[in-house]
């Protein structure tokens, strides 16, 4: 299953840290790409450093026009999954989401325009309380992929050896 994430509505500087975390969660929880605009270019650098050290070829695409992106992804058979506290309960829609081949997950920052609710194939709520795009995204991706996202990457320079205490990291380029 191919999953991409579209970040909309972020405010430059003010939302940079949250947007970076949305990108990190997208990568670590099984999406292959994040599309974003009006972003600090350092976010792209941060993610490429993480890819180099910990593996994967997760992509960051800087876009001009998010409405055009949604339209073209729809034409390319992506289902649009908008995360919103006003949507359908994730418990109800998760089994349908797991059957999709290509999904574009839309996460907001500021108030999301009405047209996103209309164009979305699924408006999905992770509970009906306001919280965070980072948490909503992590839970959605985990519910869809059901832990299959937690994989090892052959192109990683480093790999963590889980331990009860302390930190063990294998350096795959030298060890
Ligand atoms: N007040 C904004 C609105 O009306 O769209 C929401 C702002 S919220 C801080 C930022 C993003 O977090 C939302 O656009 C949505 O993607 C996500 N989010 C927050 N709570 C959520 C929930 N309970 N379920 C799903 N997504 C949620």
Of the candidates 127, 157, 121, which has an alpha carbon nearest to the alpha carbon of residue 140?
Answer: 127
Give tens-digit pLDDT for 76-92.
999 999 999 999 999 99
Ligand 1 pocket residue status of 140, Cβ below 6 Å: no
Domains of the chain by start residue, with CATH: 2-150 (3.40.1280.10)
- Of 15, 21, 84, which is best to mutate to test ligand 1, by the most ligand atoms within 8 angstroms of its C-beta? 84
Model confidence, pTM: 0.95
Residue with tokens 């302390």: 166
- From CA 62, how far away is CA 64, in angstroms rounded? 7
- Residues 128-148: pLDDT tens digits? 999 999 999 999 999 999 998
Q: What is the CA radius of gyration of the chain?
A: 17
- DSSP lists the bridge partners of residue 60 as 34
- At residue 122, the pLDDT reads 98
Average pLDDT, the chain: 95
pLDDT tens, residue by residue, 10-50: 887 888 999 999 999 999 999 999 999 988 889 999 999 99
Q: Is the shortest distance between the CB of 15 and ligand 1 below 6 Å? A: no
Judge whether residue 114 has pLDDT over 90: yes
Residue 87 DSSP code: E
């Amino acid at each position: 299953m191919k999953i991409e994430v579209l970040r909309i509505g972020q405010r430059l500087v003010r939302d940079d840290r949250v947007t970076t975390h949305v990108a990190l969660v997208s990568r670590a929880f099984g999406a292959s790409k994040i599309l974003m605009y009006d972003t600090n270019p350092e976010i792209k650098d941060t993610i490429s450093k993480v890819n180099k050290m910990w593996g994967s070829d997760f992509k960051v695409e800087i876009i001009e026009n998010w409405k055009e992106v949604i339209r073209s992804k729809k034409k390319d058979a992506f289902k649009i999954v908008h995360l919103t506290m006003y949507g359908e309960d994730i418990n109800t829609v998760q089994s349908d989401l797991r059957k999709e081949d290509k999904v574009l997950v839309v996460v907001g920052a500021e108030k999301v325009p009405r047209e996103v609710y209309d164009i979305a194939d699924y408006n999905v709520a992770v509970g009906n309380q306001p919280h965070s795009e980072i948490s909503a995204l992590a839970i959605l991706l985990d519910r869809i992929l059901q832990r299959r996202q937690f994989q090892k990457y052959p192109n990683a320079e480093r790999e963590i050896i889980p331990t009860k205490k302390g930190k063990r990291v294998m350096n795959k380029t030298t060890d």
